Amino acid sequence: MIDLNLVNKTETFLKRKFDSGDYLNDHPNDKAYRIEHTYRVANIGREIALKEGFDETEMVIACLLHDVAYCEDFGEDGWKEHGRQSAKIARPFLIEIGLEEERINDICYGIAIHVDDKADFYGERTAFALSVGDADNIDRFDAYRIHEILNMDGFLEKDLGEKQKYVEIKLQRLRELLKMQLATKTAGEMWKSRIDFYIDFYEKLKQQLERSESIITD
């Protein structure tokens, strides 16, 4: 059963950190997205925890704090460090709310490695720790992201040939991603469902583009 008191404290801490960030305050759309993404990851993490028998409170806390370093200005190449930096920010808070040292390390290790699979302190690659990154990756493939990525990549500004090439590259990458191994059966099933959805979308888009320049006779 989830401990709402600890979760609420974590939400308050996270929002306070985000509210203190100059970059996020100067870019309200980015701030809104980061909060929304964080909640989606936390909900995915909770689903994994429930089905895999992890402590759901700890998993929700870990996911809520996985991007807390966005309260800081990363600077050049700082993005790669945001997992490790988030773990540094999270640790004193986790001590403050009274979690056990062993659990704090597992949570912080999962946060630290979620970007590039590396931490700057010793930790074990437990299924719990790996699930923080799994939840983050699963959220990269939701329905809203299709719109967002097509918009960011300037899809509508491309000519027909460029659109067709773009879709082929997307499909090739998605089929590669479908083979990716996740830490738990639950995450693996969620991942496959998301990637299958994307493949189905881009296959339909590919067919639509093929019918946009000539009459199909066969």
Q: Is 218 part of a structural domain of the chain?
A: no
**Residue-level pLDDT at 197:** 97
**Residue-level pLDDT at 99:** 97
Tallying the residues shown for the chain, one arrives at: 218
Cβ(135)–Cβ(154) below 8 Å: no
Q: Is 88 part of a structural domain of the chain?
A: yes
Range of the domain at 125: 4-135
74 in the same domain as 47:
yes
Cβ(21)–Cβ(71) below 8 Å: yes
- How many whole angstroms separate alpha carbon 81 and alpha carbon 104? 19
204 in the same domain as 173:
yes
The residue type of 164 is Q
- At residue 80, φ and ψ (nearest 5 deg) are -60, -25
The contacts of residue 120 (CB under 8 Å, 6+ apart) are 84, 112
155 in the same domain as 106:
no
Q: Is 204 part of a structural domain of the chain?
A: yes
- At residue 17, φ and ψ (nearest 5 deg) are -65, -45
161 in the same domain as 113:
no
**Token pair listed for 114:** 């979620």
- How many whole angstroms separate alpha carbon 90 and alpha carbon 64? 10
Domain containing residue 126: CATH number: 1.10.3210.10
- How many whole angstroms separate alpha carbon 171 and alpha carbon 176? 9
Domain finish residue from 113, 135, 157: 135
- How many whole angstroms separate alpha carbon 150 and alpha carbon 154? 6
Cβ(1)–Cβ(49) below 8 Å: no
How many domains are there within the chain? 2
Domain finish residue from 135, 159, 190: 135
150 in the same domain as 108:
no
Please state the pTM of the whole predicted model: 0.92
DSSP-H helix ranges across the chain? 4-19, 22-26, 28-52, 56-64, 82-96, 101-113, 127-139, 143-152, 160-177, 185-210
Q: Is 217 part of a structural domain of the chain?
A: no
Domain finish residue from 135, 152, 170: 135
What is the mean pLDDT of each successive set of 10 residues along the chain, which is 218 residues long? 96 97 90 95 98 98 97 77 96 98 98 96 97 97 93 97 98 97 98 98 97 82
187 in the same domain as 102:
no
